[in-house]
Amino acid sequence: MALHRENILVVDDDTGILELLSRQLKGLEYHAYKAISVKEALFILKDGAIDLLITDIQMPEVDGLQLLKYANEHYPKMPKLVLTGYPSVDGALEVLRSGAVDYLTKPFTMEELKSAVEKALAHRPKVNEPVVKTPQVDKSVPVFREMVGDSKAFHQINNIIDRVKNNRATVLIRGESGTGKELVARAIHYSGAFAKGPFVAVNCGAIPENLQEAELFGYVKGAFTGANENRNGFFQAASGGTLFLDEIGSACLAVQTKLLRALQEKEITKVGSRRTEKVEIRIVAATNVDLVEAIANKQFREDLYYRLTVVEINVPPLRERKSDIPLLVDRFLHKYGVEYKDRLLRISPEALKILERYGWPGNIRELENVVQRAVIMSDGQIDVKDLPTNLKFQIDFPETPFLPLREMERQYIKRVLDHTQGNKSKAAEILQIDRKTLRDKLD
């Protein structure tokens, strides 16, 4: 019989079962690898090309189900087979839901093992995976510019945009970084009556504090060292349109005072000038910090806060509107598929499930980056293998307590004896001590 090329990893905390399975698999002409714990199995999976995983379920510290979930996402094309001594309908369903092809009930015969292994190895993923159908957006709800979603929160945001788009009411947009606050601001501007005017976006946090006033309101020649000419600021640049002040909480208190006057009187004064100028613009501000807390800490003016919050829009984090993820993924696949691959790409159900499960601390910006990377790394359809490792299932191993050296030595000697099935001569050879020393330690 020719030697099979398949490498099979067997995981079981029972050394007797490990040795038995290893001998049987070698008898069937397979390459067999052994792991006595899930942690040891992960090292072998990482360093070796394993074609089939056979694992027990009942194991100390971390059980086989967690290993199955991990392998199912990190090694999706590798078949998995489960060993169990406690078969039940519920247990079988749980095993199959965890990604295993089948399970073997202990004890089993050589023929049963052979049949199960052959069945598992034949259970290879098909070349053409099913694709995800793109969810349809409710056409009765107004959708602005490049905003994508179908969640309740998304429709609420669109409803507010529809109500404010044709007036110049000041709007404050709240939300974590990466949730799309600027997209909301652009939707307000470009969908409304003032879309023909300019949209000027300013990141207040990116302007040094000593330059904020000059950048926002402009300056006259000679106002300060380096002011060699008259220059307009962002307020003048946005005249007739919308000025978007992102990270408004980063504005210094002196600038906040001038912002308050600009909102109240619709006029500004350039740095170094005594002449006021009328401005006809809409102010949309955004923040990812708690301005109420900033007011309590004397870092933000309370009167300015109330001027900014004529209308408030709260953009929830992506983890709170996961039903929007399929639509966002489809948008980014279209964008980067055309840009990088000159064609439309799809995503497998398994990969999309991982994206829907992930918490997205970086919100939509992080999702877009992940999809962009997946498009670059994929050979066609986006699959689990194309996703970053940190998105996939991770095993949290319990923290091992610090033990006295004598106890550590006892546990290790016990493990070696289990491995040698109580053979003290073999155990002493592995430990590189003589039998008398081993006997003394056992006593």
Give the domain ranges of the chain.
Answer: 7-122, 152-316, 320-390, 405-442
Q: Place domain 152-316 in its CATH homologous superfamily.
A: P-loop containing nucleotide triphosphate hydrolases (3.40.50.300)
Measure the CA–CA gap between 168 and 311, rounded to whole angstroms. Answer: 11
CATH number of 320-390: 1.10.8.60
CA distance 146 to 149: 10
Residue 379: CB atoms within 10 A of its CB come to 9
Provide the 3-class DSSP secondary structure of residue 122: helix
* pTM of the entire predicted model: 0.70
CB 314 within 8 A of CB 174: yes
CATH of domain 405-442: 1.10.10
C-alpha R_g of the chain: 32
CA pair distance 69, 129, nearest whole angstrom? 20
CATH for 7-122? 3.40.50.2300
Q: Decide: 363 and 177 in contact? Cβ < 8 Å.
A: yes
Would you say the CATH fold of 405-442 matches that of 152-316?
no
pLDDT tens over the chain, length 443 residues: 445 578 899 998 888 888 888 889 988 888 888 888 888 888 888 877 888 999 988 887 888 888 988 888 888 888 988 887 765 545 556 666 666 777 788 788 889 889 989 888 887 654 444 444 444 544 444 555 568 888 999 999 999 999 999 999 999 999 999 999 999 999 999 999 989 999 999 999 999 999 999 999 999 988 888 888 889 999 999 999 999 999 999 999 999 999 999 999 999 999 998 899 999 999 999 999 999 999 999 999 999 999 999 999 999 999 999 999 999 999 999 889 888 887 888 999 999 999 999 999 999 999 999 999 999 988 888 999 999 999 988 887 777 777 788 888 888 888 888 888 888 888 888 888 888 888 888 87
